[in-house]
Amino acid sequence: MRSDVVGDVAHVVLDRPEARNAVSRAVHHALAAVLQDLRSREDVRFIVIKGAGRTFSSGGDLAELKEGLPENYVADYWRRMTGTVLAMRAADQIVIAAVQGAAVGAGAALALAADLVVAERDARFRFTFAHLGLMPDAGTSLVLPRLLGPAVARDLLLSGRWIGAAEAHERGMIARLAEPGGIDACVDGLLAELRQSPGATLALVKNLLESTSMAELPSVVRAEGVQQQAAAASGEYRRFLRRVYDGITSARARTTGNGSSPGPQ
């Protein structure tokens, strides 16, 4: 995780390109610390989150999950979500997710926690939770139906299919489309438009929208954590996730020519 402030914009980068910017528990805690600092800064009006390299995020770290969840998972999950997803929603700053490449699972959920999602035209999103034997998290079970409608949200969450940026934009999941390689220019253009309004006004509009459309989010996020731990208590969960993890590791070993696992999916 790295961050820097240029003018009124904080740039936060998921910086694990060797693991395709996986969102591990450590990354969540690091992001929470960065957001806590940025939220207190009056000189920062905007927060832009992106991934290093050509992938926004490949999702959660399966190596952390394949042996099951720790006993304190629900409490730890709540701390992580409070510090990241809920903090992004509660911040006075406008949070923009700049998506290039793939945004998968927890990575896609993190992108949707932003106020505005900008994606390159060839970017793709995938909500692989059920496909991996996991529960939706980070409020996805509430946010996705609100954005896309129940039918499409069920399709994406149950089938785990890819949704391209063009379809996501047409259906209302993302705000702006950028041409391939043009994500930074697109974000800069959006920031220029947002600067036409007072920062305090933008914060009030954001808070109003949150209070009217996402008031249930904290309770939904907490319920997702409880359901995740309940699902993980079964032996079937461990067997399934280990099989998925081993399959991914073997496939990558054949591709890279060694037995190391580059990380998550």
Which residues touch 186 (CB under 8 Å, ≥6 apart)?
A: 98, 118, 176, 177, 178, 179
Query: Would residue 204 count as lying in a domain?
Result: yes
CATH number of the domain that residue 36 is part of: 3.90.226.10
Alpha carbons 102 and 107: distance in angstroms, whole number? 9
- Whether 261 shows a pLDDT value over 50: the answer reads no
**What is the separation, in whole angstroms, between the first and last Cα of the chain?**
19
**Count of C-beta atoms within a 10 Å radius of residue 133:** 19
Query: Would residue 109 count as lying in a domain?
Result: yes
Backbone angles phi, psi at 49, to 5 degrees: -110, 130
Domain count, the chain: 1
Query: Would residue 263 count as lying in a domain?
Result: no
Percent of the chain with pLDDT over 90: 63
Structural domain harbouring 217: 2-256
Q: Which residue, 236, 237, 262, 239, is CA-closest to 249?
A: 262
Q: Taking the CA atoms of the chain, what radius of gyration do you get in angstroms?
A: 18
- Whether 79 shows a pLDDT value over 60: the answer reads yes
Query: Would residue 261 count as lying in a domain?
Result: no
Alpha carbons 134 and 232: distance in angstroms, whole number? 8
CB 53 within 8 A of CB 19: no
How does residue 256 score in pLDDT terms, banded at 50, 70 and 90?
low
CB 94 within 8 A of CB 202: yes
Query: Would residue 59 count as lying in a domain?
Result: yes
**2-6, 26-30, 65-69, 138-142: the lowest-pLDDT one:** 65-69
Model pLDDT, residue 253: 66
Query: Would residue 262 count as lying in a domain?
Result: no
Query: Would residue 150 count as lying in a domain?
Result: yes
- Whether 202 shows a pLDDT value over 50: the answer reads yes
Averaged over 133-143, what is the pLDDT? 90
Query: Would residue 264 count as lying in a domain?
Result: no
**22-26, 60-64, 88-92, 146-150: the lowest-pLDDT one:** 60-64
